[in-house]
């Protein structure tokens, strides 16, 4: 008879082996789930419900998640959503050692440690090279991360390398794949008469494009006639869907990119240049295929009739915002004569734009007139001038026409009960509205309604009240921050900021994938192909298209913002020690952010406020001195000195200038 203790030992070993096998199986199953293309990041509780994990097994699920996190196989967001960690890359500056290995200071500020690079993984990089690193071994509590260099971008001081590093840091796309370029090359560079058959022919109708001087992808043209009190407005948009066929290599790459990205010194396009600057661009005096939204608008600004058609156009002029502004505001004689064939039409367009804006504002649509930055670079990519980019009557004119076209198309397809992709903007978060109400109370303003809700009309009234006042920009920004982020959805949930029930993006299919999707749906509907099978197909794919479009839009916004901050910091390197007057744009527990008239913002760290012991009061958004009662509040004008600028963190440091420094200036 065998030893009972030995038998018990083997029994326990079998149980442990079985448990270990089951544990690994569950771990792999969880990992496979997160690698599925359709997987949406979930919290631990949501994963437990989705996987039907019994309550007694919840501890094991937590252990598996913790283990996968420590391995670097999965990641967790700030909100607790788990997702698969694809290969992790970052850019940074290489520092070599005498022994052949080296380290990279990552550009990503979330990575707190240098990355160790073994001697065989440097690709021959030398001190000061900007490189792309693949993180092979994530950091642990006792060890820094390890990686290998996959690309050398150039030396840190080479022109353009700074923005190239930022492109890599945000994983923005580079060259188009060969298959995509091959497809693009096969597309003709001129419209044929055969392609025009069956389309509404507007080639003899006077129309223009109105864009910035530097624009090359011209995707919208406008036309207008007036009969009595009625305006007949045509918004003609490049028919990109005619050339970019669904599921083609071109289409798959466009979906992957999601949007064009506009950086200071370059554009990363959604489509190859042959399309976006060529056959799809509504260039002057050449035939182009379009989708046209034709609207009849009465004296009240109401769209009383509309039609959406496939068309062919030939624009009369490629006009600029500057020239159109001078025609509609000054009736500049020289320009009116130069563009005599369209000048009367432009004046009527201004009439209509004012009418549409008045109606839109009456219903409560919010206009955030916050100036963007215009950054002028020299030939080497160095910033030589930074100033606010001012909107004028011409930019507002085009904005109104694009808005009304987007609304009209969205409403048409909503009532048509067709699968569609909408641009939605949900109501503000109640807590943020409460904070805004408390904040504006300090300046003597109020919002009607409950403390945690606000109608867009009330927010627009607030913006009208602060127009031209010192606190205008600061309250405008606080109001904007209280808003939700606009998104793409297959559901029509309305647009809070525009105070409208129906809205979509129809007007920019060259540079936004949702617009291209909208065009495809329109064309299916026009040709009678939106049957049950196609409808089901769209209902299946639209949620993923919306999700991908939101993701790439956020990435583009962040990259564009960081690129601007980089060039602003570089510009201020040549202005160290100079004194400027600015406005406090934000107050935090660690200091003040001050914005200069040229849109550059810098931090006055609390440690530099040495004349008193300052304490942050969140309710009043102020720093208040405990000894002397001095305080710094939002909107307050202050004089600052430029202390430093750091390109690695894309930041500028200020200090409050004393009277002596101000007198010297």
How far apart are the C-alpha atoms of 327 and 362, rounded to whole Å?
27
Residues 92, 84: Cα–Cα separation, whole Å: 24
Do 206 and 95 lie in one domain? The reply is no
- Residue 48, SS3? helix
Q: Are residues 470 and 533 in the same domain?
A: no
Residue 292 in any domain: the answer is yes
Give residue-wise pLDDT tens across range 103-121. 997 887 666 788 999 998 9
Residue 205 domain-assigned (yes or no):
yes
- Tell me: do 505 and 433 sit in the same domain: no
Helix (H, G, I), strand (E, B) or coil at 476: helix
C-beta separation of 257 from 270 below 8 A:
yes
Final residue of a domain: which of 33, 55, 84? 84
Residues 529 and 400 placed together within one structural domain of the fold: yes
Range of the domain at 441: 427-483
SS (HEC) of 258-318: CECEECCCCEECCCCHHHHHHHCCCCCCCEEEEEEEEEEECCCCCEEEEEEEEEEEECCEE
Read off the DSSP letter of residue 580: E
Q: What's the pLDDT at 438?
A: 80
How far from the centroid of its chain's Cα atoms is residue 343's Cα?
35
Per-residue tokens: 459: 């927010």
At 455 the pLDDT is 84
Residues in the chain, how many? 665
The stretches in the chain having pLDDT less than 70 are: 1-21, 37-38, 70-72, 78, 85-88, 109-111, 140-141, 450-452, 659-665
Helix (H) or strand (E) holding 638: strand 637-646
Q: Enter the tokens of residue 214.
A: 């530097």
Q: Is the dihedral of CA 329, 333, 337, 338 positive or negative?
A: negative
Domain annotation covers residue 239: yes
Q: Which residue from 576, 562, 535, 553 is spatially nearest to 485, judged by alpha carbons?
A: 553
Q: What is the pLDDT of residue 450?
A: 65
CATH number, domain with residue 33: 1.10.10
Residues 199 and 273 in one domain: yes
pLDDT value at residue 56: 84
439 and 404 in a common domain: no
pLDDT of 77 reads 76
Q: How far is CA 602 from CA 324, 591, 608, 656, in A?
A: 36, 10, 13, 11
Is residue 630 a part of any domain in this protein? yes
Overall number of domains in the chain: 5
Note the pLDDT of residue 70: 66
pTM: 0.83
Residue 71 resides in a domain = yes
Q: Are 406 and 466 in the same domain?
A: no
Q: Report pLDDT for 367.
A: 83
Asked if residue 167 belongs to a domain, the reply is no
- Residue 443: closest CA among 460, 459, 463, 466: 466
pLDDT of residue 244: 97
List beta partners, residue 646: 651
CATH of the domain at 132: 2.40.50.700
Residue 240 · residue 275 · CB < 8 Å:
yes
Residue 13: its pLDDT value, please? 44
What residue ranges in 451-567 does DSSP mark as E strands?
A: 487-489
Instruction: Assess whether 602 and 649 both reside in one domain.
Output: yes
Dmax of the chain from CA atoms?
115
- Judge if 456 and 512 occupy the same domain: no
The alpha carbon of 594 is separated from its chain's Cα centroid by a whole number of angstroms, namely 24
End-of-domain residue from the set 84, 107, 134: 84
Q: How many CB atoms lie within 10 A of CB 263?
A: 20
- The SS3 of residue 577 is coil
Residue whose pair of structure tokens reads 């060039």 in the numeric block = 567
Q: Which strands sit side by side in the sheet containing 287-297, from one edge to the other?
A: 200-202, 303-314, 287-297, 230-238, 220-227, 208-211, 317-320
**Residue at a domain's end among 457, 483, 509:** 483
Q: How do residues 539-550 score in pLDDT, each as one tens digit?
A: 999 999 999 999
Domain check: are 611 and 625 in the same one? yes
- Please name the residue that has the structure tokens 């408390």: 438
Query: In the structure encoding, which two tokens stand for residue 596, read together?
Result: 């200069």
**Is the domain of 437 the same as that of 401?**
no
Domain-located, residue 490: no
- The CA–CA distances, whole Å, from 376 to 164, 384, 491, 567 equal 18, 6, 41, 10
Q: 532-572 and 161-169 helices cross at what angle (nearest 10)?
A: 140
Predicted confidence at residue 436, as pLDDT, reads: 85
DSSP string, 355-369: HHHHHHHHHT-----
135 and 255 both lie in a single domain? no
Pairwise CA distance, residues 75 & 31, whole Å: 11
Q: Judge whether 10 lies within some domain.
A: yes
Those residues with Cβ within 8 angstroms of residue 530's Cβ, 6 or more apart along the chain or in another chain: 418, 419, 521, 524
Q: Is the alpha carbon torsion for 393, 396, 398, 401 positive or negative? A: negative
């Amino acid at each position: 008879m065998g030893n009972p203790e030995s038998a018990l030992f083997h029994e326990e070993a079998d149980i442990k082996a079985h448990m270990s096998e089951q544990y690994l199986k569950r771990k792999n199953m969880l990992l496979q789930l997160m690698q599925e293309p359709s997987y949406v990041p979930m919290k631990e509780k949501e994963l437990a419900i989705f996987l039907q994990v019994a309550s007694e097994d919840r501890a094991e699920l937590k252990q598996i998640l913790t283990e996968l996190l420590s391995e670097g196989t999965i990641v967790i967001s700030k909100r607790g959503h788990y997702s698969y960690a694809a290969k992790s890359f970052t850019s940074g500056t290489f520092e070599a050692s005498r022994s052949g290995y080296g380290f990279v200071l990552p550009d990503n500020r979330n990575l707190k440690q240098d990355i160790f690079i073994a001697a065989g993984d440097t690709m021959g990089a030398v001190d000061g090279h900007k490189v792309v690193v693949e993180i092979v071994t994530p950091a642990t509590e006792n060890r820094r991360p390890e990686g290998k260099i996959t690309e050398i971008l150039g030396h840190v001081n080479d022109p353009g390398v700074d923005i190239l590093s930022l492109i890599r840091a945000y994983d923005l796309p580079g060259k188009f794949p060969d298959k995509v370029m091959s497809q693009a090359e096969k597309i003709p560079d001129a419209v044929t008469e055969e392609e025009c058959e069956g389309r509404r022919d507007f080639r003899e109708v006077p129309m223009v494009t109105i864009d910035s001087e530097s624009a090359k992808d011209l995707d919208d043209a406008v036309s207008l006639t007036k009969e009595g009190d009625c305006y007949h407005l045509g918004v003609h948009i490049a028919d990109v869907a005619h050339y970019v066929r669904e599921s083609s290599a071109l289409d798959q790459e466009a979906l992957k990119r999601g949007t064009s990205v506009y950086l200071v010194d370059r554009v990363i396009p959604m489509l190859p240049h042959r399309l976006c600057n060529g056959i799809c661009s509504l260039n002057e005096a050449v035939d182009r295929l379009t989708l046209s939204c034709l609207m009849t608008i009465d004296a009240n600004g109401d769209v009383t009739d509309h039609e959406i058609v496939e068309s062919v156009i030939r624009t009369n002029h490629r006009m600029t915002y500057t020239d159109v502004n001078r025609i509609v505001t000054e009736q500049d004689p020289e320009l009116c004569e130069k563009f005599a064939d369209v000048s009367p039409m432009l004046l009527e367009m201004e009439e209509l734009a004012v009418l549409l804006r008045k109606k839109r504002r009456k219903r409560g649509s919010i206009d955030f007139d916050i100036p963007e930055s215009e950054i002028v670079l020299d030939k080497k990519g160095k910033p030589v001038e930074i100033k606010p980019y001012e909107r004028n009557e011409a930019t507002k004119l085009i904005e109104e026409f694009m808005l009304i076209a987007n609304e009209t198309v969205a409403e048409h397809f909503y009532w048509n009960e067709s699968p569609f992709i909408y641009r939605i903007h949900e109501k503000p978060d109640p807590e943020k509205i409460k904070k805004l109400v408390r904040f504006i109370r300090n300046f003597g303003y109020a919002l009607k309604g409950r403390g945690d809700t606000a109608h867009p009309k009330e927010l627009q009234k607030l913006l009208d009240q602060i127009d031209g006042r010192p606190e205008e920009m600061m309250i405008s920004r606080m109001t904007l921050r209280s808003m939700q982020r606009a998104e793409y959805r297959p559901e029509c949930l309305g647009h809070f900021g525009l105070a409208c029930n129906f809205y979509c993006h129809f007007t920019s299919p060259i540079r936004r994938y949702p617009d291209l999707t909208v065009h495809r749906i329109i064309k299916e509907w026009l040709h009678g192909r939106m049957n049950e099978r196609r409808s089901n197909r769209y209902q299946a794919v639209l949620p993923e298209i919306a999700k991908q479009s939101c993701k790439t839009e956020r990435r583009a916004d962040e990259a564009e913002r960081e690129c601007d901050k980089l060039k602003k910091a570089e510009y201020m390197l040549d202005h160290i020690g100079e004194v400027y007057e600015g406005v406090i744009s934000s107050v935090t527990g660690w200091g003040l952010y001050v914005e200069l008239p040229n849109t550059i913002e810098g931090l006055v760290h609390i440690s530099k406020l040495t004349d008193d012991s300052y304490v942050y009061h969140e309710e009043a958004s102020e720093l208040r001195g405990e000894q002397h009662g001095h305080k710094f509040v939002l909107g307050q004008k202050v004089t600052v000195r430029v202390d430093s600028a750091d390109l690695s963190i894309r930041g500028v440091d200020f200090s409050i200038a004393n009277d002596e420094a101000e007198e010297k200036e």
